[in-house]
Amino acid sequence: MNPRDLLTDLSRRLGDPAMDAAVLGEGNTSVRDGDTMLVKASGAVLGEAEPGDFVRVDLAAALALIGDDDAGDAEVDAFFGEVAAREGRRPSVEALLHVVLYEATDARVIAHSHPTAVNALLCSERPELLVDGALFPDQIVALGASPLLVPYIDPGLKLAREVRARLRGHSERHGEPPAVVYLRNHGMFAVGANAAQVLGMTAMAQKCARAIIGAAAVGGVRFMPANEVTRIETRPDERYRRALLAEEGAR
């Protein structure tokens, strides 16, 4: 499947009301394609995506913009304007966050969405419940043992820079980047090898959020013991299962 068709199918699935992950113009998707990425255009609706709803962004040029301490909103506007002149449409405002995630990981596909149950926690007084522990083994297999939680920051250049710094710190602490990034009062990013994997990660995050909310209603959340989480994360059979799920999604 070519990148545009892949993104079209992924976006429609992510925007399907049954996923409860995005409405109207919410969310965005991207795929790494060599030294560039295709990312949803600003204003496109995920559930109604067409192949023309994605624009190509040069990753190195975008990283140079993010790394330029003197750059601000005007430079971002000019950069997005150049993309629009070439592609016919502007990228999503969150395209720069996709760029830093591709820099930090070996992902090929990224899905950003606003699942209702996930956002219920991200907009609550206890968003850390999404990252403080694991509820059950399959959560660890699908989402990893160490997702990242980021405080609310205005989407765009400022957010991309902050997440870039936090990704580096996370990798130093845990030895690898997170598979999931949660943004307080905003939504989540799922980072994976293929479309099926990021869709599954989004569904698992939604399930975990619902489980947390349900557990809180009947006395409180009890996470798995930390040593058991590490055991699941490092067991050869579970690593094999994680790899198999990614491979199956690519078929």
- The pLDDT, as a whole number, for residue 160 is 96
Residue 247 predicted with pLDDT over 70: no
**Mean pLDDT, rounded, for 32-41:** 96
**Mean pLDDT, rounded, for 115-143:** 95
**Mean pLDDT, rounded, for 235-244:** 57
Q: Which of 234, 210, 241 is nearest to 138 (CA)?
A: 241
**pLDDT over 70, % of the chain:** 92
Q: Are 156 and 96 in contact (CB under 8 A)?
A: yes
Q: What is the total count of domains within the chain?
A: 1
SS (H, E, C) 143-174: HCCCCEEECCCCCCHHHHHHHHHHHHHHHHHH
- The pLDDT, as a whole number, for residue 143 is 94
**Mean pLDDT, rounded, for 166-171:** 96
Residue 249 predicted with pLDDT over 50: no
Please state the pTM of the whole predicted model: 0.91
- The pLDDT, as a whole number, for residue 234 is 65
Q: Structural domain of residue 196, as residue ranges?
A: 3-250
Q: Is the four-CA dihedral 42, 123, 188, 6 of positive or negative sign?
A: negative
CATH of the domain at 53: 3.40.225.10
Instruction: Give the integer Cα–Cα distance in Å for 216 and 166.
Output: 29
- The pLDDT, as a whole number, for residue 250 is 46
